[in-house]
Structure 1
Amino acid sequence: MPRLVDHDQRRAELGEAAIRVILREGLAGVTVRGVAAEAGWSTGSLRHYFGNQYELQAYVVQATTDTLRRRVLPRVQRPRTADSAVEGVATIVEEMLPLDAGRREEYALWAAVVEWERQHPPEGGSASWNDQRALHRQCVAALRGHETAREPGQAALPHPDAEVELWAALLHTFVDGLASQLMNTPGQVSAADAAQLLRSLLRAVPPAGSSPSAGSSPVGP
């Protein structure tokens, strides 16, 4: 009797092998030959699942996105106790920064997703970018004293408070830049520096009811 093959399991194994390749070589290393070698397969066996490199990379990028969500979302969503709203929000945002080995690995995976989206712009825009903007929107809304959205779809929509949208954009840009510095020039920016800079920006977010953009300058300690 022929042995039954679990094709979903085999595709998952290929996805895991490809992620290991990404961490060593980036998205460019995700080739049929390279992933087959990593998984211990022949190229012919891998082509049974993916007809060309585009199909392989598209599958791997989706698998990578799913992996990042499984890793990051539980950390972001876990209950927190903090002395202040700024501190509570800071501990959430720090989950997006490459402050340790695990989060540096996640950043490398995220960079591969971004590179794929740059090469193949998705309809409706970048899902990873939209996910991050929704998170930053929620964080700023909390700092402004608003209730956070109960449904993910609601968090993806522009907030009725224009200041939330402005500061969510500033926070998103800031976090991207800070993450890049932590990865690319780690000798110049320490984890402690990053923590201080992040909290400085968050303290500058003006509470609801104040004059627009009347918070303290986001520059400086």
Structure 2
Amino acid sequence: MANTIDGERRRRELAETVWRLILRGGLPAASVRGVAEEAGLATGSVRHFFPSQAELHNFAMLELMATVTERVRAAAQTPDVRERARAMLEELLPFTDRTHAEFAAYLEFLDRSRIDTALEPVASESVRAARELVVTILTDLRTLGMLRPEIDVDTEAVRLHAFLDGLMLQLLVAPDLNSRQQARDALAGWLEALEVKA
């Protein structure tokens, strides 16, 4: 039992090491060798927990998904329904320096998953999880009578998800195109346009 706990703790420590490297130098910096050097371990010690770089990167992405999920859960505690929906969806966008680095690494991961099939399942799951969040938020707004009756939740989820992905890409690749505040305002405007008018 103690070995299992120690092993899980070491995996978490290595995941944190991966993210320190990613935040400094992007996904390429988080190689097995780079993680070993950063953690002060032999490469073989890292490979004991993550036999391949793909497994290491998959674990790091799963940790990122867990971090985003925690932030979404925290945002879900916002009392006002409109503010809650906006706050939850904002967690899918790079609005801080930390999340900017995280989402930049995430884009690198998605790109690499196109040619590395070992990464594809986690990449696909991350996109599905984002879509499910959008569907859940729209469904909740519909249940509360706040969504215009003619709006189809599934169709709108596709549109809103694509809009969020577009904003994320613009904020990462062309940050001078939209400020973070402009992106926040655009999201708020999109949600407002879905609401039942008094």
Superposition TM-score tier, normalisation by shorter sequence: 0.7 to 0.9
Deviation at 1:69, TM superposition (A): 2.5
Question: Could you give the per-residue CA deviations for residues 5-24 of structure 1, whole angstroms, max 9, x where no partner exists?
Answer: 92222222111111112222
Q: Distance in 2 between matches of 1:164 and 1:79?
A: 22
Task: Indicate the RMSD between aligned Cα atoms, in angstroms.
Answer: 2.9
Q: Does 1:16 align with 2:13?
A: no
- Residue of 171, 183, 188 corresponding to 1:199: 188
1:44/1:77 CA distance change after superposition, 3 Å: same
In structure 1, runs of 5+ residues without a counterpart are 149-160, 208-214, 216-221
Picking from 104, 107, 110, the partner of 1:108 is 104
Structure 2, unmatched stretches of 5+, are none
**In the TM superposition, what whole-angstrom CA distance separates every residue of 1:108-148 from its partner, at most 9, and x where no partner exists?**
3533553454332229x8221111111111222344x3259
Q: TM-score, normalised by structure 1?
A: 0.71
The alignment partner of 1:204 has SS state of helix
Letter in 2 for 1:7: G
> What residue number does 2:74 align with?
75
Alignment map for 1:1-221 (pairs within 5 Å)? 6-70=6-70, 72-81=71-80, 85=82, 87-115=83-111, 117-118=113-114, 119-120=116-117, 121-122=120-121, 126-143=124-141, 145-147=142-144, 163-205=152-194, 207=196
* Amino acid of the structure 2 residue aligned with 1:36: A
**Higher relative helix content:** 2
Q: Which has the larger radius of gyration?
A: 1
TM-score after normalising by structure 2: 0.78
**Deviation of residue 36 (structure 1)?**
0.4
Q: Secondary structure in 2 aligned to 1:122?
A: helix
Q: For residues 181-216 of structure 1, what are the alpha-carbon distances to aligned partners after superposition, in whole Å with 9 as ceiling and x for unaligned? A: 122222221122112221222233265xxxxxxx9x
CA contact (8 A) 1:167 1:205 kept: no
- Residues matched between the structures, number: 187
**Contact 1:22–1:112 (8 Å) recurs in 2:** no
